[in-house]
Amino acid sequence: MDARWYTPTFLAMVLHSTSTIAKLHWTPCASNPTFDCSTLTVPLEYASPNNVQYARIPLARLNATGPKSQRKGPLLTNPGGPGSSGIDFLLNGAGEGISTITGGFYDIISWDPRGVGTAEPLLQCFETIGEESKGSASLPLAAEIEYSQFTNTSYLPEFYEKLEEYDTAVGEIAQVCAEYNSSALYTSSATYVVRDMAAIVDAIEGVGNAKLNYWGLSYGTIYGAEFIQTFPKRVGRIVLDGVFDAEANSEPYTSQLPHDELYVRDAIADFDRMCTAAGPDACALSLSTGNHSTNLTTSITTRLANLQESLYHTPIPAPDGAWSITAGIFSFFMYSYLKLPLTWPIVTSAVRALETGDAGPFATLLTGATTTAVTNESAPATGSLAGWPIQCTDNAPSNQTSLCEVGKLILDVSLAEETPWLNADLSTLAFCRNFPNERPLVQNVGADKLISGETNAILSARDTSILIVNALHDPTTPVSSAARLHEWLPTSSQLVTRRGPGHTTISLGSLGLIQAIRDYFLDGTLPAEPEVHGVSQVVFPGGDAAESANPDPVFNGTLTDEERRLLEATYEVFLAFIGLP
């Protein structure tokens, strides 16, 4: 690495770029006057803070409701992605939910990270929304490869042929994106975002070096990990929920991919177990004599594998006849919904119909989640593909990775983890493999100061601790990543988990866990030892749950009004989370 990144002069220049306190002017948000909106202007290039180019970061705020004398200031939250709009997250339910969880004592604030949503400049890969839409439409949802044949050597030539087709399609978009060279392309990485976060809290508080209170979910935990290493003396109360591995994320994407798959098989087993226990009245895939034909295998897991294999050989046409449900599309569908247990009732109904040859429910769910109407093709592009280049520039270059290495990785990880849907998570690797090796001028810390113990020492000396939370069978951000972060912060963090599947802890309500988050934000209380909490929400409640992707929540046990409010607030945050594109 270029030695200039470590010179005191250069680092002082970069850190000085956040020292000027901007002023914010808040007005009611146009789309929801309950919230206030504002815009923060920051340097576009933190390596050149005196440059005349700027980025404009939109903010939204839900004001605290508690007595003024007891209010605790701003609490920032970010839903991750990367590429998701924090403004949409806040306005669509997360603001009220987080405010309820934290007792109304904080101003709940989110923002569109640079390059994303309504931030300026946008990280665009195309000039117009019409070009962007056509580019997106050209992308296959997943590689058309079939897990059950991975041990069959005669299948390997076909496997590599399908893999190359997919890689080429995604690679073309990566090359177009790099060639378009948006001014946000190399100024939207995590290290730039955390400097914006520091500037946001300074502007809100009106003082320099204000402390950050923060609840980061999913890729938002990367921003949290980067912040505590960059500004350890500015750490307030920080919850990192659904932890991305900061070390793997700073390496080529071939290091990240194996981490992502560690608990996919356990989540599939949860899917099977919960559905079977719920019975056919609540779960359409559950077996019962007289309800389903008795020639079906007794294992839902095996049936899913058999359906995938069948679709590989014989795709099922969608009702409109314009496309067909293939093994790759099925993989994408199952991989996407596996991380959202509360959608499983409607998912099992769609899969059961697909077993009988009826693609209607499946197609409705899939197209509803992946398509948006374009009304003006000449309008500016929306930056809908920003997540991929942001992920690439946060990672070390992957463009020296050969397609043979990718293929071997897929085979090895799929067989070792017994996961049939790995091919649905290849998009980022394919994009980054075809993306240039250029990186931002200010480089991410990654996990260097975590691994060295420097961050833990500073936090501990200041009697500051963060709270790390994760689901035990999270198929996207495995609990092992959360455990590693806790190991790097042995005296300045605590790990609290909940049982079961789901991406981030909000994907499935847990009274004990949400109370731990609440207690931490209210008075800084952390458990003395790591804790594991149970699930308080019913995944297959029956009734009309199979008719909606957002069914009314059903909770376990006898609850007080306050306990029910906490769990319902968690569900509000979850709905806002899954509503993001």
Q: Give the pLDDT band of residue 291 (cuts 50, 70, 90).
A: very low
Local confidence band at 287 (pLDDT 50, 70, 90 cut-offs): confident
Q: What is the pLDDT of residue 549?
A: 83
Say which CATH number the domain at 21 has: 3.40.50.1820
Domain span at 465: 16-121+185-252+444-578
Shortest CA distance to 192 belongs to which of 280, 258, 111, 127? 111
Position 268 confidence tier, pLDDT thresholds 50, 70, 90:
very high
Tens of pLDDT, residues 80-102: 999 999 999 999 999 999 999 99
Specify the pLDDT at position 373. 67
- Rounded Cα distance between 333 and 471, Å, is 21
Quick one: which H or E segment has residue 199? helix 190-205
Average pLDDT across the chain, whole number: 92
The verdict on whether omega for the bond into residue 82 sits within 30 degrees of 0, i.e. cis, is: yes
Query: 104-155 pLDDT, tens per residue?
Result: 999 999 999 999 999 999 999 999 999 999 999 999 989 999 999 999 999 9
438 falls within a domain: no
* Mean pLDDT for the stretch of residues 481-496: 98
Average pLDDT over residues 306-317: 95
The whole-angstrom distance between residue 358's C-alpha and the CA centroid of its chain comes to 31
User: In one letter, which amino acid is 164?
Assistant: E
- Quickly state the pLDDT bin for 48 (edges 50, 70, 90): confident
For residue 363, tell me if it sits in a domain. Answer: no
Q: Please report the DSSP string for 393-421 in residue order.
A: HHSPP-TT--HHHHHHHHHHHHHHHT-TT
> Residues 477-503: what's their mean pLDDT?
98
Residue 541 lies in a domain: yes
pLDDT of amino acid 293 = 47
Buried b (16+ CB within 10 A) or exposed e, 269-297: bbbbebbbebebebbbbbbeeeebeeeee
What single-letter amino acid sits at 342?
L
- Between strands 74-78 and 466-473, the pairing is unpaired
pLDDT of 317 reads 96
Q: Is residue 229 part of a domain?
A: yes
Q: What mean pLDDT do residues 244-262 have? A: 91
* Cα dihedral: 371, 372, 373, 376 (round 10): -130
Q: At what angle do helices 387-394 and 156-180 cross, to 10 degrees?
A: 90
Percent of the chain with pLDDT over 70: 94
Degrees, nearest 5: CA angle 574-580-581: 145
Q: Residues 143, 328: contact at Cβ < 8 Å?
A: yes
Residue 527 lies in a domain: yes
Element (H, E) at 41: strand 36-43
501-523 pLDDT tens trace: 999 999 999 999 999 999 999 99
Task: Please return the burial class of 485, using the count of CB atoms within 10 Å of its CB with bins 0-12, 13-18 and 19+.
Answer: buried
233: buried, middle or exposed (CB in 10 Å: 19+, 13-18, 0-12)?
exposed
Q: According to the model, what pLDDT value does residue 8 have?
A: 39
Going by their DSSP bridges, the two strands 316-317 and 27-28 should be labelled as unpaired
For tokens 């079977």, name the residue: 276
Residue 279 has pLDDT above 80, yes or no: yes
pLDDT above 80 for 550 = yes
- Number of folded domains in the chain? 1
pLDDT of amino acid 319: 93
> Which residues are paired to 62 by β-bridges?
108
pLDDT score of 306 more than 50: yes
Which burial class, exposed, middle or buried, applies to 503 when counting CB atoms under 10 A from its CB (0-12, 13-18, 19+)?
buried
Quick check: is 156 in a domain? no
Q: Does residue 481 lie within any of the structural domains? A: yes
pLDDT attached to residue 158: 96
Domain assignment of residue 488, yes or no: yes
